[in-house]
Structure 1
Amino acid sequence: MAYGFYFNQQRCIGCGACQISCKDKFDFQTAGPRPRRMDNFEAGTFPTCSMFTTSLACNHCDNPACTEVCPTGAMFKGADGLVLHDDEVCIGCLSCANACPYGAPQFNEEKGIVQKCDACSALREAFGGNPICVDACPMRALDFGDMEELRAKYGGDLVSECLGMPSAETTSPNILIEPREAALGDEATLRAIIL
Structure 2
Amino acid sequence: MGEQLAFYFDQKHCTGCSTCQIACKDKYDLQTIASFRKVYEIAGGTFKKSGLAWEPQVYAFWISVSCNHCEKPTCIKSCPTGALQKREKDGIVMIDKQKCIGCKQCIKSCPYGAIQLNPQTKQAMKCDFCLDRLAAGKNPACVDACPMRVLDYGILPSLQEQYGDIRSTPGLPDAAITKPALIITPHRDALTVSGAKKI
TM-score by length of 1: 0.90
Deviation at 1:88, TM superposition (A): 3.0
Is 1:164 aligned to 2:171, yes or no?
yes
Q: How does 1:111-130 map to 2 (within 5 A)?
A: 111-125=121-135, 127-130=136-139
**Displacement, 1:99?**
0.6
Residue 81 of structure 1: which of 81, 87, 91 is its match? 91
1:23 corresponds to which residue?
Answer: 25
Where does residue 95 of structure 1 map in the other structure?
A: 105
State the distance in 2 between where 1:164 and 1:176 align.
15
Write the distance in 2 (CA, Å) between the matches of 1:186 and 1:11.
18
1:44 — aligned with what? 45
Cα distance in 2 for residues equivalent to 1:22 and 1:186: 30
Structure 2 CA distance, aligned partners of 1:176 and 1:103? 18
TM-score normalised over the length of structure 2:
0.89
> CA-atom RMSD, angstroms?
1.5
Shift of 1:191: 4.5
Deviations 1:68-103 (A, max 9, x none): 111122111012211111223211111001011111
Q: Distance in 2 between matches of 1:165 and 1:119?
A: 20
Task: Check if 1:5 corresponds to 2:14.
Answer: no
| Alignment correspondent of 2:183 | 176
* Sequence identity (%): 44
Residue number in structure 1 paired with 2:149: 140
- Paired residue total: 188
Matched, 1:151 2:160: yes
Instruction: Output the CA distance in 2 between the equivalents of 1:169 and 1:178.
Output: 18
Bigger radius of gyration: 2
Task: State whether residues 3 and 81 of structure 1, in contact with CA within 8 Å, keep that contact through their aligned partners in structure 2.
Answer: yes
Query: For the residues of structure 1 that align with 2:62 and 2:174, how far apart are their CA atoms?
Result: 18
| Structure 1 counterpart SS, 2:12 | coil
Q: 2:198 aligns with which of 176, 192, 195?
A: 192
**Alpha-carbon displacement from aligned partner over 1:45-88 (angstroms, at most 9, x marks no partner):** 22110110100001111110000111122111012211111223
Unaligned runs of 5+ in 2: 48-55
Q: Say which is worse superposed, 144-153 or 128-137, in terms of deviation.
A: 144-153
Letter paired with 1:137: C
Using the alignment, how far apart are the partners of 1:186 and 1:138 within structure 2? 27
- Note the residue ranges of structure 1 that are not aligned, 5 or more in a row: none
